């Protein structure tokens, strides 16, 4: 029988500090009513000055390992999706591996914006099914508030910090990593971009003065592409799994805007109770949003009875990805 990959543990790491819409009203010309109505966000969590992506990613990884019943010796590989690594290099995954006490395992970061975690699941599926590894940790973690432009009301109200992780094994039972779809379109990369700090515009006084180290986003254009790409990605992932949309129990979408989640749910003809939404409490946590939601679903008992989930994400690149996760036989 061919090899398969299963989610056997989940975890999250959430900074304690909370930033409410009322707090934002004091920073930019906005209102709780606008943010709530246009995005669904009520508050988000935020790291303090002494906390970075590796700190919350470590917590998420520890929780995922604990829920899988794994010790450090069990982990054979660790991958991290992030656009806010601790440093440009070395990879934050290496720092996390060290703090977890993992023994010289392969560890690397990759970035696919908010689609990063689902990109990570697809990588884990490939590596495990091909026999490279039996047990991997996949983490999505971001501290977007560290690269937020607090003068741009159109974007600064959206983001929060957080981390989520899953333990993926060649041995079930668990959530089988099933049909998937992923893609990108670099022709529209300027819709969502951090201009400064890379080799194109290395950090300088000028790049700092021009706010080039913070997120620049064309929200309404990104919105349109997000709705289309997430719908198409879900349909293609279901097709690969040989499923009809009527066979989906629960949608776990990237939490960028409740209106995007709602549009994706409508495209799949899902009822409100079949859609997991936590954007009100987290905002957009980028690569962390899906694994945080998965952990809440798992720990909240929502996988009992076993369910068939679809995850879908969209983000900078532009990138998109979807995957079917089956807790059902
Ligand atoms: O994570 C993956 C990538 N990111 C996304 O998927 C984000 C996708 N985009 C969005 O979620 C939405 O486009 C936003 C929430 C960013 C914006 O919502 P929108 O309904 O597309 O608003 P808009 O940009 O069309 O702006 C409508 C109005 C404008 O005012 P006027 O020109 O109509 O007078 C904006 O200036 O809302 C104004 N506005 C605000 N007003 C109060 C924009 N931001 C704010 C704000 N508070 N924070």
DSSP codes of every residue in 197-260: SSSSS---HHHHHTTTTS-EE-HHHHHHHHHHHHHHHHHHHHHHHT--GGG--EEEE--S-HHH
Active-site residues, by number, are 114, 254, 284
The confidence score (pLDDT) of residue 51 equals 98
- CA dihedral 87→93→99→104, nearest 10 degrees, is -120
List beta partners, residue 160: none
Ligand 1 pocket mutation, candidates 20, 27, 38, criterion most atoms within 8 A of CB: 38
- How far does the centroid of ligand 1 lie from the alpha carbon of residue 257, in Å? 10
- How far does the centroid of ligand 1 lie from the alpha carbon of residue 30, in Å? 11
The confidence score (pLDDT) of residue 1 equals 72
Q: Whose CA is nearest to atom 39 of ligand 1?
A: 154
Q: Whose CA is nearest to atom 20 of ligand 1?
A: 38
Does 256 contact ligand 1 (Cβ within 6 A)?
A: yes
Does 317 contact ligand 1 (Cβ within 6 A)?
A: no
What pLDDT, in 10s, does the model give residues 244-285?
999 999 999 999 999 999 999 999 999 999 999 999 999 999
> CB–CB of 39/158 below 8 Å?
yes
Ligand 1 pocket mutation, candidates 154, 215, 226, criterion most atoms within 8 A of CB: 154
The confidence score (pLDDT) of residue 8 equals 98
For 178-327, CATH gives 3.40.47.10
Fold: same for 6-173 and 178-327: yes
Phi, psi for 254 (deg, rounded to 5): -55, 135
Does 219 contact ligand 1 (Cβ within 6 A)?
A: yes
Does 30 contact ligand 1 (Cβ within 6 A)?
A: yes
Question: Can you spell out the DSSP letters for 34-83?
Answer: HHHHHH--SEEE---TT--HHHHHHHHHHHHHHHHT--GGG--EEEEE-S
Alpha carbon 230 to its chain centroid, in Å, reads 14
- How far does the centroid of ligand 1 lie from the alpha carbon of residue 232, in Å? 24
What pLDDT, in 10s, does the model give residues 40-87?
999 999 999 999 999 999 999 999 999 999 999 999 999 999 999 999
Q: Which of the listed CATH numbers 1.10.10.10, 3.40.50.720, 3.40.47.10, 3.40.50.150 matches domain 6-173?
A: 3.40.47.10
- How far does the centroid of ligand 1 lie from the alpha carbon of residue 284, in Å? 14
Nearest atom of ligand 1 to the alpha carbon of 284: 1
- Return the domain boundaries, the chain: 6-173, 178-327
The confidence score (pLDDT) of residue 328 equals 81
Q: CA 171 to CA 192: how far, in whole Å? A: 38
Q: DSSP assignment, residue 181? A: E
- How far does the centroid of ligand 1 lie from the alpha carbon of residue 186, in Å? 23
> CB–CB of 79/287 below 8 Å?
no
The whole model's pTM is what? 0.97
Q: CA 184 to CA 242: how far, in whole Å? A: 23
The pLDDT averaged over each successive group of 10 residues in the chain (329 residues) is 95 98 97 97 98 98 98 97 98 98 95 98 98 98 98 97 98 96 97 97 96 96 94 97 96 96 95 96 98 98 93 97 93
The confidence score (pLDDT) of residue 135 equals 98
Ligand 1 pocket mutation, candidates 25, 191, 220, criterion most atoms within 8 A of CB: 220
Nearest alpha-carbon partner for 313 in 295, 293, 298, 328: 293
């Amino acid at each position: 029988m061919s090899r398969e990959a299963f989610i056997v543990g989940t975890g999250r790491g959430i900074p304690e500090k909370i930033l409410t819409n009322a707090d934002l009203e004091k920073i930019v010309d906005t209102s709780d009513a606008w943010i709530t109505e246009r995005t669904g966000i009520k508050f988000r969590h935020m790291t303090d000055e002494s906390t970075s992506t590796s700190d919350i990613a470590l917590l998420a990884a520890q929780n995922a390992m604990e829920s899988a019943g794994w010790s450090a010796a069990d982990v054979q590989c660790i991958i991290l999706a992030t656009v806010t690594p601790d440093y440009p290099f070395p990879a934050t995954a290496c720092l996390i591996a060290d703090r977890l006490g993992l023994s010289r395992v392969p560890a690397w970061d990759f970035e696919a914006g908010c689609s990063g975690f689902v990109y990570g699941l697809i990588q884990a599926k490939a590596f495990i099914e091909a026999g490279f590894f039996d047990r991997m940790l996949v983490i999505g973690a971001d501290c977007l508030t560290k690269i937020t432009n607090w003068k741009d009301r159109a974007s600064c109200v959206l983001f929060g910090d957080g981390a989520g992780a899953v333990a993926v094994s060649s041995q079930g039972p668990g959530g089988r990593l099933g049909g998937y779809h992923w893609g990108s379109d670099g022709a529209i990369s300027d819709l969502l971009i951090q201009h400064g700090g890379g080799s194109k515009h290395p950090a300088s006084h000028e790049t700092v003065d021009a706010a080039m180290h913070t997120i620049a986003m064309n929200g309404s254009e990104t919105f349109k592409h997000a709705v289309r790409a997430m719908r198409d990605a879900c349909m293609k992932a279901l097709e690969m799994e040989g499923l009809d949309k009527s066979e989906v129990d629960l949608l776990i979408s990237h939490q960028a805007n409740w209106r995007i989640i709602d549009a994706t749910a409508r495209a799949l003809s899902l009822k409100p109770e079949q859609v997991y939404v936590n954007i009100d409490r987290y905002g957009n946590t980028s690569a962390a949003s899906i694994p945080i939601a998965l952990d809440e679903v798992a720990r909240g008992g929502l996988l009992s009875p076993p369910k068939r989930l679809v995850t879908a994400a969209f983000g900078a690149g532009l990138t998109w990805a979807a995957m079917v996760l089956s807790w059902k036989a």
